[in-house]
Structures are given as C-alpha cells and as structure tokens.
Amino acid sequence: MSAAEQPPETEHRPRGRRRWGLSPLDWRSHVIDERRDHPIGVLKAECGHLLMMVTTLHEAPYGKPCDACAAHQLASAMIPCRDQ
C-alpha cells in the first residue's frame, strides 16, 4: 500500500454527507448517508426505506420529506461537531 491514498472524507465534511433522494414508491424524499453501507444495487435511507441506486440525490429535500428521515436529519443536525 502506498502512502498516497486519499483520505476517506474531505476536511470540510467531517461527518457523513447526507443527501435527499425522492422515492418513486411513496413520493417522499428520504435521507441517504453516502458513507453508510448500502446493499448492492440500492440505497438505504436513514428510515430503512430502500431506493434504487439510480435515484438522483439532492442537497435539499425534493418534494415532501419523509417524516422519519426529516426527524433523523434534524436530530443529527443538532449534534455539535466534535472536531476542534
């Protein structure tokens, strides 16, 4: 292994980057943590909802946010960053 490996995350995003994906099943936007372990071929939302891998992810909720994901996103946003 060489020492030139990229760090797993960029400096200005210390926590997992979260984006919103609109599900065609319930027409709600679900929060996707891109660093989470996702099953092959799908994206697993914070609430457990599965979205297709081809789902377009947005920086902000697209349409109605899923209630569970919105609550989860709010809770994680209120946790202060523990980096100095």
Out of 20, 21, 22, 30, the only residue in the binding site for Zn ion (CB under 5 A) is: 30
Q: Is there binding between residue 49 and Zn ion (CB under 5 A)?
A: yes
Stretch that binds Zn ion, among 26-34, 35-43, 56-64, 75-83 (CB under 5 A): 26-34
**Partner residues linked to 45 by β-bridges:** 32
Query: Residues 71, 72, 76, 79: is their CA dihedral positive or negative?
Result: positive
Q: Is there binding between residue 69 and Zn ion (CB under 5 A)?
A: yes
Residue nearest to Zn ion (CB): 66
| HSE-up of residue 31 (Cα within 13 Å, Cβ side) | 19
Stretch that binds Zn ion, among 1-9, 11-19, 41-49, 54-62 (CB under 5 A): 41-49
Q: Is there binding between residue 45 and Zn ion (CB under 5 A)?
A: yes
Per-residue CA distances from 70 to 51, 59, 60, 61 (Å): 16, 13, 11, 9
76 SS3 class:
helix
What residues line the site for Zn ion (CB under 5 A)? 30, 45, 47, 49, 66, 68-69
